[in-house]
Structure 1
């Protein structure tokens, strides 16, 4: 049977014109048993459309690891290392991940207590909640009515030592059903988004770049971001903005000399824009919570200087300034009409181009609502590629 594709089921809140190329449901093929020819077709589809959905997929942890690895055959370890969080319980990621013993690259995530699962006798899972990470939170009364928030917009990446995974695979095994929730932005805009219970929300990094006005496109194409060492430990004492898009600047980050041992050579500096290996398009790919500095190259010779930001280049080290600039550039792309909130069903498999989208956990479950997912992403064999000289000439 030939591979068939159909558009993703967009919610009424989505602007269809912004999703013309984003996301496809794949039919007629089993993702766990792809032939080499079928995989090549899936690979092209993923890079072209950023996210692929397979319904009613049968997928063992071994098959999920093999599928994820096929996108980057030299990759081996889980995206944060096979010890998950850098051998420290201080990491903000530590409570969210449980390793499948026989396939350490696959993580069990979800909510509630799961028994006798793939070699785990008992696993207590906790769905991440904005109430433990944001500076402010919705009231208990509103939460009881189903009001919630984006938890943290991010890229799956260690952002220290290891290279960002190319692809993440998410497989729904136990999916509780429930009333829809209202995701509030609580940033003074009045924006809100109706979402399915426990949705994973996605936005396009390509759209994030294309929305920018000319002067910010010029800045983006010339810039690189520096991430903090062990960023998930560094950010753990801090609080996120109510949109989940970055950290409030309150001086709460862990001091660099209090972090686990780190080496300057392993600190990551990445372009703001990552080049799609198939389409050649530029995707705005910044994990706003881990950023600490910004490097801006000067305008190329002959470029118009009028209205340009930092025309002579810059090295920005003021954390508040760097975060404010990132927020200004990224916030338009998480507008309700630009978010795809996936409505999970059991045996849904979603593949997403981790170097082309940002995503967020959303919502809250009650302790007795059991949810179990398998997640796999692998630290890549190379770092992302940024804009080339022609891109800089075009946009700067």
Structure 2
């Protein structure tokens, strides 16, 4: 049943599809997003932190400025794009995937295909990320149209110099419709599978992932810190992902520090393994599995063997991306989604033909403060 939160907002919990046990996600109704009252803004903020992912339908006319302002609700002091100058680094794995809107530089354009004109950009070619460019193995070309994988489970964050954004928003401007795909977790097709709409964005709750841990693992997660690699998206640019998209294979392909841009040790990020929800107080096991380099344990011991670090992180996170726990958005034009970037992981899925044009707007901003830890 919908419930009101003191403004005109109605919060409708998402109904899980058959076989799903997701307990997050909500559709928000009753608001004009271009004209929000203070009560509306407070209600949106509360709804996000209570539901992790919130959806507004039929927002085709939402302006980039309004998208920026709504995303900024969660951190009024934030203003610069969440990945900073990452896009300027040609070797970054993020470089091909985003274009910046000239008149609203906090908002990026992502998608697929050639676009003649959009929001001040002209003759741009967008490329939907495909797992074959990042995974150690890939689905054959013959099977690619009907099958897919999680491209990369991640947090939207630079993870060097800048604090991770609190929220990310996505607006579906143009969405090619086509048949669903079977998503595979393993390279040989013998493991878990999930039916997903083509090009779905997949979400998993890091709060649920923490709750699934044993008491001993919960203590480990609460008391361990994660050190991320300097310039992580360049550092990992030659490495390759596991088939489930949850972290990298350890084959020694990461770039050495001598091949990275200059490193300021003070800007390397060491963050809690668990982040606290500022409204509910729940703990999220929130780790970017591809960018992690070291673990700092409760007694100060540092685990710096990369293969061991990745094995530990994968063991802790993998239960949280089980098929029944993944929310795969079935995008429709005009869908506007905001997600708790400090409480969920997300991943691109799917593949499109060159002639299939898909246009999305994305907005997130480097936060004005670090995540809350378990003791905060």
Verify same fold: TM over 0.5: yes
Q: Find the partner of 1:70 among 70, 73, 85.
A: 73
Compared CA separation, residues 278 and 211, structure 1 to 2 (3 A): same
> Which deviates more, 161-170 or 186-195?
186-195
Match of 1:315 in 2: 302
- Matched with 2:16 is 10
User: What does residue 292 of structure 1 align with?
Assistant: 293
Match of 1:129 in 2: 130
* Partner secondary structure for residue 325 of structure 1: helix
Deviations along 1:92-148, one digit per CA (max 9) or x if unpaired, are 00000100011110000000011110001111000001010000011222213x111
Q: Secondary structure at the match of 2:105?
A: strand
Matched length: 368
8 Å CA contact retained: 2:137, 2:187: no
Secondary structure of 1:154's match?
coil
User: 2:90, 2:164 → 1: CA distance?
Assistant: 21
Note if contact 1:3-1:29 (Cα within 8 Å) is conserved in structure 2.
Answer: yes
| Equivalent residue, structure 2, for 1:383 | 370
- 1:84 offset after TM fit, Å? 4.2
- Among 33, 39, 61, the residue aligned to 1:31: 33
Measured after TM superposition, the shift of residue 9 of structure 1 is 4.3
| TM-score with structure 2 setting the length | 0.96
Alpha-carbon deviation of 1:31?
Answer: 2.4
Query: What is the deviation of 1:187?
Result: 5.8
Whether the aligned pair in 1 keeps the contact of 2:204 and 2:344 (CA below 8 Å) is yes
Q: Distance in 1 between matches of 2:53 and 2:68?
A: 18
Write the deviation string for residues 14-62 of structure 1: whole angstroms up to 9, x where unpaired: 11xx41xx11100111223211110101101101111100000131111
**Which residue of structure 2 lines up, in the alignment, with residue 88 of structure 1?**
89
- Provide the residue aligned with 1:199 in structure 2: 200
Q: Output aligned runs, 1:121-270, within 5 Å.
A: 121-144=122-145, 146-186=146-186, 190-270=191-271
| Displacement after TM superposition at 1:324 (Å) | 0.2
Shift of 1:69: 1.2
Alignment gaps of 5+ in structure 1: 299-312, 390-396
Partner of 1:309: none
Over the residues paired in the alignment, what is the CA RMSD in angstroms? 1.3
Cross-structure match for 2:3: none
| Partner Cα distance (2:225, 2:322) in 1 | 25
Who is 1:113 aligned against? 114
Counterpart residue number, 2:350: 363
Cα contact 1:11–1:340 (8 A) shared by 2: no
Counterpart CA distance in 2 for 1:202 and 1:190 is 19
Alpha-carbon contact 2:86-2:92 (below 8 Å) kept:
no
Residues 238-293 of structure 1 show CA distances to partners (whole Å, capped at 9, x for unaligned) of: 00000000000000001111101120000000001000000011001100000000
Secondary structure (helix, strand or coil) at the match of 1:220 reads helix
Match of 1:276 in 2: 277
Task: Tell me the SS of whatever aligns to 2:310.
Answer: helix
